[in-house]
Amino acid sequence: MVEKAKKVCKNCGYLTNSKECESCNSKEFLPKYKGRAIIVNLKESEVAKKIDAKKQGNYALKYG
Ligand SMILES: [Zn+2]
């Protein structure tokens, strides 16, 4: 399943369609972003460490 582009959390880069970021509970979002990282395993993902991901899911690599 291919998910459509979502909005990106201004604070942590988490991609969501919710009103609140499911990762950091921020309510500030940006409509544009570039690149996407799908974090499945937080502990084993190098990308997760780089972007400091706290929750599995989709993250934008560049935003803001
Ligand atoms: Zn967030």
- Give the Å distance between the CA of 55 and the centre of ligand 1: 10
In-domain check, residue 16: yes
Indicate the number of domains in the chain.
1
Distance (Å) from CA 54 to ligand 1 centroid: 9
49 in any annotated domain: yes
CA dist 42 to 2, 5, 19, 61, Å? 21, 22, 23, 16
Chain segment 2-49, per-residue pLDDT in tens: 566 579 999 999 999 999 999 999 999 999 999 999 999 999 999 999
pTM of structure? 0.85
Q: Ligand 1: distance of its center to the CA of 3 in Å?
A: 18
Q: Is residue 1 part of a domain?
A: no
Q: How far is the CA of 1 from the centre of ligand 1 (A)?
A: 23
Which contiguous run of DSSP H or E holds residue 49? helix 46-51
In a domain, 34, yes or no: yes
**32 found inside a domain:** yes
Ligand 1 center from residue 25 Cα (angstroms): 6
